[in-house]
Amino acid sequence: MHLLMYMLVLCARVLVISAKFVSGIFI
């Protein structure tokens, strides 16, 4: 697996977790 793809997947996971965390606070 390429490093760039790994970084993209990692960033995507962080964004998803952040979105869940934020929505959990506001909802």
Between CA 1 and CA 14 the distance in angstroms is 19
pLDDT at residue number 27: 64
Q: Is the dihedral angle over the CA atoms 7, 13, 16, 21 positive or is it negative?
A: negative
**Full residue range of the structural domain in which residue 26 is found:** 1-27
Domain count for the chain: 1
State pLDDT tens for residues 1-27: 699 999 999 999 999 999 999 988 876
Between CA 20 and CA 27 the distance in angstroms is 10
What would the two tokens of residue 13 be?
A: 């996971």
pLDDT at residue number 26: 74
